[in-house]
């Protein structure tokens, strides 16, 4: 790891800390940050065109998990609402890893640490895994007695294979934001 890599990681953690609620009601757990630095969820963009299409869709899907009908996306406002409602997005691995095999190995290697971080530091009421890379963690949360806190999609993480392709996402109705919102609405507060 070089100094620039460490600095980018620190910056991502600082951005996330700005929007971390005091008490986390819903932890949206992804395997790793996606894409370029400008695409990071907590890096609010005044001009959304600087984000990739996939990153804009990802942001919008996470905002939808709150169940609010937001017609115009102001990212700072949305991130503040996310925090106000007790939502927090976090990652099993804090650095972007594009290679699926490397990501799988990193999550597997760090899994006990990830579970402890969620249990003792983040302490959410509910955990919503949102990528295939978090599948391994579901079993571990069950083993430590946190299975009842998991909000799952047919026994697994919420996944949208067409994130980044708005047309296919619409045709195949794979959007995970609304599905998560409905699942959370059915839970006790």
Encode pLDDT of 87-104 as tens digits: 999 999 988 888 889 999
**147: exposed, middle or buried (C-beta count within 10 Å: 0-12, 13-18, 19+)?**
middle
Q: What is the mean pLDDT of the chain?
A: 91
Residue ranges per domain, the chain? 23-185
pLDDT band at 112 (very low <50, low <70, confident <90, very high): very high
Give the residue with greater pLDDT, 11 vs 126.
Answer: 126
CA-to-CA dists, residue 32 to 29, 80, 84, 107, angstroms: 9, 22, 24, 9
Per-residue pLDDT of 143-163, as tens digits, reads: 999 999 999 999 999 998 888
Predicted local confidence at residue 70, as pLDDT: 66
Domain 23-185: CATH class, spelled out: alpha beta
Residue 76's alpha-carbon distances to 41, 44, 132, 152, 160, in angstroms, are: 11, 6, 28, 28, 24
Over residues 110-122, the mean pLDDT reads: 96
Which pTM was predicted? Answer: 0.91
- Give the whole-angstrom CA distance, residue 174 versus residue 150: 20
Are 13 and 121 contacting, i.e. CB atoms less than 8 angstroms apart? no
């Amino acid at each position: 790891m070089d100094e620039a890599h460490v600095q980018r990681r620190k910056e991502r953690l600082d951005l996330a800390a700005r929007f971390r609620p005091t008490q986390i009601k819903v932890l949206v757990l992804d395997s790793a940050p996606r894409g370029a630095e400008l695409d990071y969820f907590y890096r609010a963009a005044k001009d959304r065109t600087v984000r990739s299409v996939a990153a804009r869709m990802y942001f919008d899907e996470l905002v939808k998990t709150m169940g609010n009908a937001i017609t115009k996306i102001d990212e700072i406002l949305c991130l503040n609402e996310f925090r106000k409602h007790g939502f927090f997005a976090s990652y099993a691995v804090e650095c972007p890893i594009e290679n699926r095999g490397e990501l799988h190995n990193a999550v597997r290697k760090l899994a006990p640490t990830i579970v402890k971080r969620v249990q003792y530091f983040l302490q959410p009421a509910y955990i919503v895994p949102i990528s295939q890379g978090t599948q391994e963690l579901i079993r571990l949360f069950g083993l430590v007695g946190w299975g009842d806190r998991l909000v799952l999609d047919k026994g697994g993480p919420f996944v949208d294979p067409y994130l980044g392709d708005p047309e296919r996402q619409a045709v195949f109705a794979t959007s995970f934001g609304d599905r998560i919102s409905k699942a959370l609405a059915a839970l006790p507060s």
